[in-house]
Structure 1
Amino acid sequence: MKPLSKKARLGIVAVASTLVLAACGGEDDGDSDDTPSGGESSSSAEGGESSAPPAEATGMQLYFVDGNTANYTEDFDPGTLEGVKATYPGAELGDDFRQRLLGVDKKLKDFTYGPESYDATIVAALAAIAAGDDSGTAVGSKMADVTGGGEKCTEFKACADLLGAGTDIDYDGVSGPIDLNSTGSPSAATIGIFEYGADNNYAPVNFVTGQIPDASEVKPDQEIASVKPGDGKFVVGMLLPSSGDLAFLGPPEFAGVELAVKEINENGGVNGSQATSIRADSGDGTPNIAPSETDKLLSGGADVVIGAASSSVSLSVIDKITQAGVAQISPANTSTAFDSYADSGLYFRTAPSDVLQGQVMASTLIEDGKQNIAILARQDSYGEALAENVRSFYEEAGGSVVSYQLYSPEAANYNAEVQAIAAEDPDAIILISFDETKKIVPALIQAGLGQGE
């Protein structure tokens, strides 16, 4: 599938307005058109009219999100997922960066959150240079400063040279615009829209960049109380999944961090010293191995912890990390819980909150002509937050959620939830899941709810 050449740009408020217009059948403020065959399309919130109505719904349509957008070539019979659509954060991945990641790990099959992991590491190193110190509190104090408000730069060396010359910088990374807001989350981000082929692997259809409003209030427990000195050695701790349902995300995330450390050291290091890294396994929370693995990183002198991938896992260790005066930067946490968390000003992320992905998913559903959908989601901080955002924006646009099912990730099977959905006969199902997708999809097919049925 040939990726589209244009990127759509839309503001957060404008997205909601566009959705309402599309749902009412009125004039669409822009001309968005998903065209898997490879034609160009773009979405805009700044004017223009669309003469094309939403696409007619044809058969059952499955939709995935970032937690389960993966290469299933070896998991399902050919054609099982053909036509499934998916969304996940991140700009279009260039061939150059893909090859650089493969240079670190030639076995990579997926690249999901590799760019965000790379950017998290680069931003932390630049923050340490801007602060002139490598401590976690010093890094945290400069994270927002190096991602907005200064001279734009896109590579570590160029950015470090500008800082060395006393110039404020605005680092834009390989994952897209970052521009960290007052609570440590991106204020602008890109969401990719993908479609699965007959080989059960996914390819890009479009990319949508949107703005995310800043928090209206920053509480005292979300600010750094004081900056303490470091030891002159910039140490990056990796708390990323080597085991569990999110283990497929581990290789590209580890590769992203290791590539960044390699390139940092090839270009002068951090404040005159070489950066080092330590690995730890975050798991997926069942069992919860992250706290003990975090202890390994803290005892190893980590100044910044990259991870975890799972929002629930990060919530289980965020206090341990931030109360130790160490900065935590996740490449993949999307739960809205972090926007108001009492993190002492030391938690950050390079992935956007679920607000933006929820809007893009809702917009995609409306454009695809889906009028009665079901949502099947993990019952955890990630699944519930994203499910609520999809439902909110989709219903605001005039759509109907006929079945809303939350499931336990530890369940032996998902038959009850699948049968509840089948009873409502939706024209689309949004599956917000992790690796259990491999069990849920066969259950959906058995119930006559497979893709295109």
Structure 2
Amino acid sequence: MRVSRGSRVATLAACVALLFTTGACGTEQPEEPENESQQVRLYGNDGNMLNTFPLELKDRAHLVDGMKGTTPMTPLPEDFKTRLRAVDPNLRDYLYAAEAYDAVMISAFATQLAGTTDPAAIAKQIVGVTNEGQRCEDAAGCLKLARAGQDIEYRGVSLTRAGFTEAGEPATASYATLHFDDQKLNDAKTEFVGAGDDSKASTKAPPKGRKPRGDSGAPLTLGGLLPRTGALALAYPPQAAAAALAVREINAAGGVLDEPVVWIDGDDGTNPAVAKATLASHVEKNVQVIIGAGASGVSKAILPDVVAAGLVMFSPANTDASLTTIEDNGLYFRTAPPDSLQGRALADVILRDGPRKVALVARKDSYGEGLQGYVRTELERAGLGDDKVKLLTYEPPADADAPPVDFSAGAREIKEFGADAVLLIGYAESAAVIVALDEAGVQIQQ
């Protein structure tokens, strides 16, 4: 229940008078009846906590002010940001930039240690590159060790604490809590928290590194499969800039297997059909490692085709926890942490504000519903029962030409439910949910 400012002042005055006459003061405050002008706090996830997200709201961009959320992110060194901006001077966000950079670096070091561009041999080296070897932190240092056949332990921009698990994903992660003010992310309010378990990192020794022979298959060719278009296109610039930066620095350090690494750009379209067409093109061009896809659902849809082609698939942005155990023939890897970790971080952000009722609104796909489930579990663990948490989903647009999401019915449900916190688990289309809440008369707290 909300208590008006006038009620609080009157209560305080009565309390002060009571303190002087009896030496005690009660803490209970009279409650006002529920009114129609309910306010809700907005929360977001890594797919919409971006400086470009307010643009999706057009003339209602101010509605994001006060919105909070989480994203996998480590404190990025200023030097790394400067190097990224040298690639793309218009860069406004850094979402998954560190992860994209490290995915390319790890792929290069694994290839050098394998002594061949054969994807199966590269895959056998990837987990080992991040664990139990000689510590190195940049392209020049790591490649020098790898060329000598020395097992390495790469610590980069996103991998700072521990390496990969046997499943080929980070054992630990860092999350940033982000805040929108004045229609942009307020970096001064950003907080970082760690998650995961260092002991989950693999201790299995990789195959011994070997020097390249005449049949090495060089050059190493990487095929981009990043969301240049589609619902996740707002997250494309930082990933593309980071991949380009990594290739540039690897080649400046002498390349891999005595030849420059080749990058072939490609779009996943945030759409399995687009991604499959791009993958087919990459196969024809003899790509050995796919960097992508951006969306977890896209990766799940095309992974069977990747495995059939015998390629390595290395995503910087997939977080769907079900990908940890997916059948991949040992060819799928990711630098982004699974949502089982992000669920805890998001629930913590929401719970700090002491909500009475929470609505969790998610894309109707494995990523959205998966993260929604993890957040719900954490909220319930904190004491919010079924009557305090409402789950809603929506069908995401099939492509950029599809009509906007119609969430008007869901917005009315949220208003009737009396939620004072709404979590949006989605991409650019989350803007339609905010607009629907506004049009339903739900006051967004700012």
Superposition TM-score tier, normalisation by shorter sequence? 0.7 to 0.9
Mapped to 2, the partners of 1:182 and 1:448 lie a distance apart of 49
Q: What percent of counterpart residues are identical?
A: 34
Question: 1:199: which partner in 2?
Answer: 183
Task: Summarize the alignment of residues 346-425 of structure 1 with structure 2, pairs less than 5 Å apart.
Answer: 346-400=331-385, 401-410=388-397, 412-425=405-418
Counterpart among 43, 57, 66 of residue 46 in structure 2: 66
**Equivalent AA in structure 2 for residue 256 of structure 1:** A
Say if 2:263 is the partner of 1:283: no
Tell me the TM-score normalized by structure 2. 0.82
Task: Summarize the alignment of residues 287-306 of structure 1 with structure 2, pairs less than 5 Å apart.
Answer: 288-306=273-291
Counterpart among 430, 434, 445 of residue 441 in structure 1: 434
| CA separation of 1:278 and 1:429: change in aligned 2, threshold 3 A | same
Equivalent pairs, count = 387
**Equivalent AA in structure 2 for residue 281 of structure 1:** D
Say if 2:232 is the partner of 1:239: no
Say if 2:238 is the partner of 1:252: yes
**Equivalent AA in structure 2 for residue 313 of structure 1:** V
Where 1:348 maps in the other structure, the secondary structure is strand
**Equivalent AA in structure 2 for residue 235 of structure 1:** T
| CA separation of 1:206 and 1:216: change in aligned 2, threshold 3 A | closer
Mapped to 2, the partners of 1:390 and 1:172 lie a distance apart of 30
Question: 1:129: which partner in 2?
Answer: 112
CA contact (8 A) 1:90 1:175 kept: yes
Question: 2:12: which partner in 1?
Answer: none
Say if 2:222 is the partner of 1:273: no
CA contact (8 A) 1:80 1:200 kept: no
Counterpart among 166, 176, 188 of residue 172 in structure 2: 188
Aligned-residue CA RMSD (Å):
2.4
Gaps of 5+ in 1: 1-57, 218-222
**Equivalent AA in structure 2 for residue 153 of structure 1:** C
Where 1:145 maps in the other structure, the secondary structure is helix
Counterpart among 60, 67, 75 of residue 92 in structure 1: 75
Mapped to 1, the partners of 2:440 and 2:156 lie a distance apart of 43
Counterpart among 308, 331, 352 of residue 293 in structure 2: 308
**Equivalent AA in structure 2 for residue 408 of structure 1:** E
| CA separation of 1:163 and 1:96: change in aligned 2, threshold 3 A | same
How far has the Cα of 1:215 moved from its partner? 8.5
Mapped to 2, the partners of 1:377 and 1:295 lie a distance apart of 31
Gaps of 5+ in 2: 1-37, 398-403
CA contact (8 A) 2:166 2:201 kept: no
Larger CA deviation: 62-71 vs 156-165:
156-165
| CA separation of 1:215 and 1:207: change in aligned 2, threshold 3 A | closer
Where 2:291 maps in the other structure, the secondary structure is strand
Question: 1:427: which partner in 2?
Answer: 420
Task: Summarize the alignment of residues 45-194 of structure 1 with structure 2, pairs less than 5 Å apart.
Answer: 59-71=39-51, 72-74=53-55, 75-77=58-60, 79-177=62-160, 179-194=163-178
**Equivalent AA in structure 1 for residue 395 of structure 2:** S
CA contact (8 A) 1:212 1:356 kept: no
**Equivalent AA in structure 2 for residue 110 of structure 1:** D
How far has the Cα of 1:201 moved from its partner? 3.2
Mapped to 2, the partners of 1:331 and 1:448 lie a distance apart of 39
Where 1:399 maps in the other structure, the secondary structure is coil
How far has the Cα of 1:414 moved from its partner? 0.8
**Equivalent AA in structure 2 for residue 85 of structure 1:** K
Question: 1:46: which partner in 2?
Answer: none
The structure that is helix-richer by fraction is 2
How far has the Cα of 1:323 moved from its partner? 2.2
CA contact (8 A) 1:78 1:198 kept: no
- Larger gyration radius, structure 1 or structure 2: 2
Question: 1:34: which partner in 2?
Answer: none
Where 2:255 maps in the other structure, the secondary structure is coil
Per-residue deviation, residues 84-110 of structure 1 (Å, max 9, x unmatched)? 111010102222111211111222222
Mapped to 2, the partners of 1:118 and 1:319 lie a distance apart of 25
Mapped to 2, the partners of 1:367 and 1:412 lie a distance apart of 30
How far has the Cα of 1:130 moved from its partner? 1.6
How far has the Cα of 1:283 moved from its partner? 0.5
